Structure 1
Amino acid sequence: MSSPSTQDHDYCLQLVRQLDNDRYLATLLAPEALRDLLWPLYAFDAEIARIRGLVTEVSLGEIRYQWWRDSIDAIYEGRAVEPHPVLIGLEPIIELGDLPKHAFVNLIEARRFDLYDDPMPTLNDLEGYLGETSSVLMQLAARVLVGEDSFALSDVTGAAGVAYGLARLMATLPAQCARGQCFVPLDLLEKCDLTPAHVMAGRRDQGLDVIMSQLRHHAQRRLAEARERVSEVPAMALPALWPASLVDLYLKRLARPGSDPFKKATEASQLRRQIRLTKMWLTESF
């Protein structure tokens, strides 16, 4: 096993800072020793999440997913891994936290959906997708931070991850539409006599407003479910959940009169996010 170098560490940190800024800001509030454990994990997720944007053909994306899948296999089988900064950083963390292989495999497999232009079939399917991506990342982070104590947090990280993942999907609709992706569930569209083409066109109408309201309320419910059990979360595990504290900011902006999430990405300023995260740090909440 290769020990991560300063360059490996910096690669992971900068990748998270660029591609997953919410988690970057949240992790800055964690103790320094814990930050170094989280950067490679979040960098792995960022690498998987950006594959769609790096390739011009589905087959090339499949090759990249398979490369990461094979690399995870190599780590768990004790074989030499490719000299990639994320893999070098991830290997000792997997061993330290006794992280389950299936979590990484399921995350990769769920992200394969990103390569294709198929619409998300149902809200339940979207929940499953977010569970295997956003929620599992929180679960793994909690496992790294508090070990076996994280087993009791699966419901909390599950609900918080869905809430955060859904809020981020709604906040970044224009980028998805530009890539030809539709994460708005087909079953919700059909109930309003709409199709994915209406989403791609980026034209607001009453039906899309109704659907966006339904999705916002769904995210709010999941966040409320997670927060009901905040007293069960060890303080050391909170950095894994802090990104969920930003859900309120995104949902408020999405619900503003005149807001058009299909035309312009819904973002919160770094200052507002830092203030919110600092409040969560001070109050030991999320």
Structure 2
Amino acid sequence: MNTSRTAITAAPRVARPLRNQHAFGHGLNRQACRQCVRKYATDVDQPASGAVSHEELARARRYCLDMLRKSDTPSSLLLPYIPTQARDAYIALRAFNIELARTADTTSTPTIGAMRLQFHRDAVTKALAGQPPKQPIAVLLAKAAGDISDNGGKWSKSWFLRLVDTREKYLSNPPYPSISAVESYAENTYSTLMYLTLQSLPMASLTADHVASHIGKATGIAAVLRGLPLLAFPGPANKHSNQGQFAGDVGASRQGAVMLPLDIMAEAGVREEDVFRNGADAHGLRDAVFTVATRANDHLITARQMLTNIRKGEDAGHEFEHQDEEEHMYSPSRSGKPETQAQEIERAFGVFMPAVATQLWLDRLQKADFDIFNPKLRVTDWRLPFRAFWAWNRRKL
């Protein structure tokens, strides 16, 4: 790929590679997406009266796996790279994320959406206590929490609540005031999801969390971009066609909203009315998308450089901005020296694999000259399984 960055001009438009030597990085592999429609469980209010039977657990696992296959194909395809003992946790977490993300799409008002999210808060509390409501995701979360405890680990309840709280904050699609606000959203959703996945290994590593933070931010920023067309032109209630790991970042308000950071829109001269009127041809839209996508790409570049540094026995190259948060405060024996850090990132590598899917989508966005309305961006790339296999064997994201 050409690594030089072509200047952005008003017209005629020339396809622009992203900045930095990696451009938009390596390609990814993945199979084509399927369309999905999922019905909300009807028995969510019934508390579990005792231990979950093997049959109930098997049904819950099948239910959650089916959610991933239909609504988050990338996560489904990356499942084999998660250690066996953590797969139930991974499946449950990703299904939980889909359920939270769908709340806006499956409720008619923010008030009803908030009630639905309160159910999820209560369900998490009960699941982590070993008494889940008889709802498939909660059942599998409870089973996974027990497995993690048996292996000497523990899930942080505060991270689950952070996921729910962040989704509630954006139920009515308030604008992001800045690109930093988009990063904060991504940190509190996709990065947090990765922290919980690391805990399921179990792993308590500041180094692994740091890498996961950058990958999660990249994925979350890409999710915001991918959801932009559905938010701008929501139409009838969306039942979530297969949006891959970016599924769900398309709120439910039937009024259109352009969810680009306001500072970037102002810089590029993008007006919301122009987007509603002209779609992909709105003045400055591609330039704004380019700027936001570049920030996502930068996070992936940083994560790769961190892996390179750590494998050389060097430090990560910069401090982890969230290292002082209580959930990230691990004992020195768990954080380890450079050699131990290298071992930790190798053990955590499967959790980092969403970087492969995110990079491939960003590459396709670049190929489309940052036309976020290009329909090809709405399906999972058939190359993902092959690229993921390549990345896993070479331990390169």
Query: Please, what is the CA RMSD of the aligned residues?
Result: 2.2
Residues 1:137 and 2:137 aligned together: no
Q: Quickly say closer, same or farther: Cα 1:120–1:200, change in 2 above 3 A.
A: farther
Contact 2:88 2:140 in 1 (8 A): no
Paired with 1:45 and 1:37, the residues of 2 have a C-alpha distance of: 12
Q: Residues 85-129 of structure 1: CA distance to partner in whole angstroms, max 9, x if unpaired? A: 111110132341401011010110111133203212211111111
Paired with 2:392 and 2:227, the residues of 1 have a C-alpha distance of: 26
Correspondence for 1:218 among 278, 282, 295? 295
Paired with 1:269 and 1:46, the residues of 2 have a C-alpha distance of: 16
Contact 1:238 1:285 in 2 (8 A): no
Correspondence for 1:197 among 255, 273, 285? 273
Using CA pairs below 8 Å that are at least 6 residues apart, which structure has the higher relative contact order?
2
Contact 1:189 1:195 in 2 (8 A): yes
Q: Quickly say closer, same or farther: Cα 1:269–1:62, change in 2 above 3 A.
A: closer
* Alignment match, 1:10: 62
Paired with 1:257 and 1:144, the residues of 2 have a C-alpha distance of: 37
Contact 1:62 1:112 in 2 (8 A): yes
Alignment TM-score, normalising by the size of structure 1: 0.90
* Alignment match, 1:128: 184
Alignment gaps of 5+ in structure 2: 1-50, 235-255, 312-341
Residues 1:242 and 2:353 aligned together: yes
In structure 1, what residue type is equivalent to 2:52?
Answer: S
* Alignment match, 1:229: 306
Paired with 2:104 and 2:257, the residues of 1 have a C-alpha distance of: 10
Q: Quickly say closer, same or farther: Cα 1:114–1:264, change in 2 above 3 A.
A: farther
Q: Residues 218-251 of structure 1: CA distance to partner in whole angstroms, max 9, x if unpaired? A: 1111111111122445333222111111222212
* Alignment match, 2:143: 92
Contact 2:74 2:380 in 1 (8 A): no
In structure 2, what residue type is equivalent to 1:10?
Answer: R
Alignment TM-score, normalising by the size of structure 2: 0.66
* Correspondence list, 1:143-158, <5 A: 143-148=199-204, 150-158=205-213
In structure 2, what residue type is equivalent to 1:274?
Answer: P
* Correspondence list, 1:252-271, <5 A: 252-257=363-368, 260-262=371-373, 264=375, 266-267=377-378, 269-271=380-382
* Alignment match, 1:64: 116
Aligned length: 284
Paired with 1:34 and 1:71, the residues of 2 have a C-alpha distance of: 20
Paired with 1:194 and 1:271, the residues of 2 have a C-alpha distance of: 33
Q: Residues 6-46 of structure 1: CA distance to partner in whole angstroms, max 9, x if unpaired? A: 11110111111222211111113435443233111111111
Q: Percent identity?
A: 25
In structure 2, what residue type is equivalent to 1:126?
Answer: V
Paired with 2:387 and 2:379, the residues of 1 have a C-alpha distance of: 11
Paired with 1:140 and 1:119, the residues of 2 have a C-alpha distance of: 27
Higher normalized helix content (fraction of residues): 1
Alignment gaps of 5+ in structure 1: none
Q: Quickly say closer, same or farther: Cα 1:81–1:268, change in 2 above 3 A.
A: closer
Instruction: Please state whether the residue corresponding to 1:115 is helix, strand or coil.
Output: coil
